[in-house]
Structure 1
Amino acid sequence: MKKTLTIISLLLIIINGNFTVFAQTTTPASENKSRTENVQNKDETKLEDVVYLKNGSIIRGRMLELIPDSLVRIAIVGGSEFVFKASEISKIVAEKISTPHNENQNNSSNIEPPKPTKVEKPKYYRDKGIYTYISGGFLMGITSDEVPDVGIHGDLIIGHQLNRWAAIGGGIGFNRYPLNEWMIVPIYADYRGYTNKSSESAYYSLGLGYGFVATNSSNAEAKGGIFIRPAIGYRFSSVQKTQFLAELGINIQKAKEEETIWDGSTVFRNYTFSRTALRLGILF
């Protein structure tokens, strides 16, 4: 009987010891699981495409298209897409962003994405370099007989912009005075400058040269004379290299005729064409 009790006691001790060992071996697994969850709760690292523009703007999102030396198309949060020319871009890089891990994935759809930022193209502006100006318009005035006269004219000017205040060039044009039946082609030097350091600006100009007679009102020999072309105008803003200009000025043209009449004497006639010039043009 005593031997039987001894065996039962030993069995109880062994069973109790196994439970203790099992409890001790399961504790580290529980700790490891807790540590794993802590690691998963840390921020996850992702990459995004970042476009730096020359005007200082920064666009972050996902690159959709990249054509070297041509254009870049990128989509930002919210689905908006932007296209930029290569000439507008300073650099393109991939940068890391930190996205907090959300244990409740169902709540992530309730987060409102940031509103996309509208990027405006910079206005075109330059104060140095070669330029071409083409214009046309109307010449309005009164003849020597006090009759209103409206003619047409056009100009082509090519020059070099030294700075905002000064540009020097050369021009050629045509001036038609219909009632007097004169057509004069002036060739002149052109000086101009701008008041504002921006795409849109008021400006001033002065042309000075000589006008050659193409046609006149009689069979008399006609000669041209000095040509003066002062004007003020306005250059409209643009994102392109081509800009529109509106101009108001005065065209002053000297001319004369020499005619031999029936008695052999020579008659001289002097003309001064003074007209208000209203013109529109493009500058590039």
Structure 2
Amino acid sequence: MAFDRLLTIMDELREQCPWDRKQTMDSLRHLTIEETYELSDAILEKNNAEICKELGDIQLHLVFYAKIASEASTSSPDHFDMADVLNRVCDKLISRHPHIYGDTVAETEEQVKANWEQLKLKEGNKSVLGGVPGSLPALVKAMRIQEKARGAGFDWDEKEQVWEKVEEEMQEFKEEFNVSSSQTIDVQRAEGEFGDLLFSLVNYARFIDINPETALERTNKKFIKRFQYLEEQARANGKTLSEMTLAEMDVYWNEAKSRFRQSY
């Protein structure tokens, strides 16, 4: 009933509202990305009321895209509607879970992932990595690349081996681009080595079940909260940060660390 109500409202808005009539898939795209990040923030904040709200906003966008596509001629290859969307994902879930809906045996999560990647190759993907969206943020993309490579059997055996790689990359970066040296560095080469170091850290995070994107975002939020506390305390004392020494700011920073120790 609730889903039918949303579909009906979408039909009415598309017909009667000037703004809704004007929208295209291209015009909605950046708004959908924004809504997805808002959902991500709500999940990190563990705010279920906001999660519910943001899920509704994203569902509206999904219905909107399907509505726009349904307006194309039924003979056009661009035509589809919400029923097509739902049936297609149902068919995909059934075909991708032969251990549930077929005779394949998969008793572990790793077996399920391996089967999933093999099925995608049979469906037409030329590479295991072909399903990684090119527009993903780099940190998320690194994680997905490594997960998919693991699904194909290309991975380290033990986390200790991965940590050795981290240390190796760190040493290489330190030896070539020592921060204590005033010598001009080759920025392009340094960027490449730093990328290798980050990639190996993401790999280690995966081995110990840490999501690097979530970890970094929690640190971002922690830093913001502490920095804003520093700004508030400076204002309370009639100062701006530019008027304070680093030692003075450090006092408030340490207060913030103690005050918000459990944050995120």
Normalization by structure 1: what TM-score? 0.17
- Which of the pair has the greater relative contact order for Cα pairs under 8 Å at 6+ separation? 1
Which structure has the larger Rg? 1
- Greater share of helix: 2
- Greater share of strand: 1
